[in-house]
Amino acid sequence: MAAKQLSGKLAVILHADVVGSTALVQQNEHKAHTRIQGSFKRFAETISKYHGQVRELRGDALLAEFNRASDAVSAALSFLSDQANFNAQLDDNIRPLVRVGIAMGEVVIADNTITGAGVVLAQRLEQLANSGGICITPAVREAIPRRLPFELENIGEQELKGFEEPVGVYRVALKRGASVPLPEPGRSSGPAESSPRPKVMIALVALAVIAAVTYGVVNWQSKEPISSESKEQTQSERPSIAVLPFDNMSDDPDQEYFADGITEDLTTDLSRISGLFVVARNSSFSYKGRSMDLRTVSQELGVKYILEGSVRRVNDQIRINAQLVDGETGGHIWADRFDGTMADIFSLQDDVNRKIVEELKVNLTPTEEERLIKVETTNPDAYDMLLRGLQQYTYYSRESMVAAREMFKQAVALDPNYARAYSNIALTYGTEVNFYWTPNREESIKLGLEYANRALQLDDGIPQIYLTRSILYLSQRQHEAAVEAAMRTIEVFPDYADGHAALAFILSYSGQYEQALEALEHAKQLNIQVTGVYYGVEGRILFLMGRYTDALASLEKSIELNPGFDRTHLTLAAVLVRLGQLDDAAWSVEEALAITPEITLAKERREANYLYEADLENYLDALREAGVPE
């Protein structure tokens, strides 16, 4: 049944093999096998980072699936670059040279095995690639955003075994001097069909809300182009600024988590100053790894000023270079260097923030003044461990959630009064509850609330505490407490975009639709890069309000940005039923079942969190008519 449901699914397929593997084995069988296996293990890790999933790994070949063509190409380029460096360090000729083919086509997935025309096409393309090279189809080329730094060489139509018609083929390489785009943090690892699935409607907003409160990232889906209307929404009498991701200038590339953490903290600190308008962190991070004219960035984000810079860490020594740029002219307003040690990390950040405040002539309230000088921990190792945990958290898997929690707990062990670490421990339990990654749901709820309460005792100004509470209270169907906690989230952090989105989500389950739409509109104004998650939440609210035509438009936008989420397809099916489009509704149900075959009406009823029975019955009746199994 599952295989039948998955038939005809369109996927991005990557096929790779080792050129001349037989000759390598003949030189030294043990060494060749070890190096080939090690190469594909590293490739598999890279694929996972770029949100793909290895479907087969056999001998000298690897087969993987992606949701997005840009992720597949970026993963291949990243690995091939690393592999070239690896081979260059070897002192013999047993050097695994990998080539890659990437195609889009229909596939069938059963028992984690993937077959179909798309797989065969990727394999044929790989055979056309040079050693250390990549070949793609025109369909893949069209799916790759033009902004990415890829060189594409059209080698014309090729006769491929098993295909009646010639197939167009392009070779892909990285532009000279460019860097491979980094994987977008916060998105679920792996294609939707194979990753753990959320089991309740609350999961629709969970990635946007939970990822953003922890690390400010929502990018498991592509972003919608910014419209002039979006830019107008950001205009304010307050000076407006975007903090672009700081470059990691350390010799160790693994220090990327540290540079990202510094960027996140600077963004958060500035966002909590009432005299500034600061673009949401996930909007700014959409420019990570991209080389763009800052005037263009300023125009796209609708801000007057841009803060950019770099972080260099060598052992205990820290150097932060920061530049404030006038977005209209591209000229530097100031540029400065801030040197210190890990023990000075918070004062270094404070120096950067104060420089901006002074330059933009922003007056601080007494509370804001106190917050800027506040030191969250006196143990630099605890802070470092917290940032490492945040990086793990963004990988979104059962395993990474456990790893993140352990790092947060290590931070607490280093500083038992570290409120932010406690709040993030609570958040990992909240995430497990929402995605049904926990073997003991009640125990995870209990522990999540306990750690949130401990964090609250130490610091009542951390928004993660209240947002985690709101999510866990809703999972217990304590709607009044959930709304109260969500409201407290934005009281603590008024300009927190995803805090407003969380409030919208909670209010919608409590039957307060108009208030929910108002909260979501506020979130859109703050988060210029409106995500597919926001549109999905909006579509469900509009469905509950009976505004089916408007709901259809929002849900179609959501699916366009993130086609791999089962909940959105189900809501769309319900909307289409109410619009009388039963055939399309049945198709949407098939799409949802292809992603999560276990969906039934009984499960939907059991796991729903609606306050009002009428809302639940309205939803279930529509799904029944659309063809969801009982």
In whole angstroms, what is the distance from residue 185 CA to residue 211 CA?
Answer: 9
CATH code reported for the domain at 2-174: 3.30.70.1230
Give the residues across from 323 on adjacent strands.
Answer: 308, 335
Taking the C-alpha atoms of residue 3 and residue 106, their distance in angstroms, rounded to an integer, is 13
| Among 426, 476, 423, 417, residue whose Cα is nearest residue 448 | 426
Query: What is the Cα–Cα distance from 551 to 558, expressed in whole angstroms?
Result: 11
| φ and ψ at residue 321, rounded to 5 degrees | -100, 130
SS3 241: strand
Summarised one tens digit per residue, pLDDT across range 438-466 is 888 899 999 999 999 999 999 998 888 99
For 456-495, write each residue's pLDDT tens digit: 999 998 888 998 999 899 989 999 999 999 999 988 888 8
Which CATH architecture describes the domain 535-626? Alpha Horseshoe (1.25)
Cβ-in-10-Å burial (0-12, 13-18, 19+) of 170 comes to buried
pLDDT tens-digit series, residues 242-287: 888 888 888 777 788 888 888 888 888 888 888 888 887 777 877 7
Pick the closest to residue 185 from 76, 263, 241 (CA basis). 263
The Cα-based distances of 626 to 1, 202, 329, 567, 629 in angstroms read: 18, 21, 55, 14, 9
**558: pLDDT strictly greater than 90:** no
Mean pLDDT value across residues 191-212: 40
Average pLDDT over residues 30-34: 82
Beta carbons of 50 and 66 less than 8 angstroms apart: yes
CA torsion 447-451-454-455 (nearest 10°) is -160
pLDDT in tens, 333-391: 888 888 888 888 888 888 888 888 888 888 888 887 877 777 889 899 999 999 999 88
Q: Cite the residue boundaries of each domain of the chain with CATH code 1.25.40.10.
A: 203-530, 535-626
Rounded CA-CA distance 475/473 in Å is 5
The residues of the chain that CATH labels 3.30.70.1230 are 2-174
Residue 4: pLDDT above 50? Answer: no
Lowest mean pLDDT among 10-14, 56-60, 216-220, 267-271: 216-220
More confident residue, 56 or 112: 56
The secondary structure of 506-538, three-state, reads HHHHCCCHHHHHHHHHHHHHHCCCCCHHHHHHH
CATH number (3.40.50.970, 1.25.40.10, 1.10.10.60, 1.10.3720.10) of 203-530 reads 1.25.40.10
> 125 pLDDT band (50/70/90 cuts)?
very high
Radius of gyration (C-alpha) of the chain in whole angstroms: 25
Q: 320-329, long-range: CB within 8 Å, 24+ apart, which pairs? A: 320/246, 320/262, 320/348, 320/349, 320/352, 321/249, 322/246, 322/352, 322/355, 324/355, 324/356, 324/359, 325/294, 325/298, 327/294, 327/295, 327/297, 327/298, 327/299, 327/303, 328/295, 328/298, 328/304, 329/295
- How far is the CA of 219 from the CAs of 51, 256, 531, in angstroms? 11, 17, 8
- The more confident residue out of 236 and 383 is 383
CB neighbours of 393 closer than 8 A, spacing ≥ 6?
A: 211, 214, 215, 400, 401, 404, 424, 427, 428, 431
| Alpha carbon distance 317, 319 (integer Å) | 7
Tell whether the model's pLDDT for residue 153 goes beyond 60.
yes
Proportion of the chain in helix, strand, coil states, percent, rounded to 5: 55, 15, 30
Q: Which residues pair with 337 in a beta bridge?
A: 321
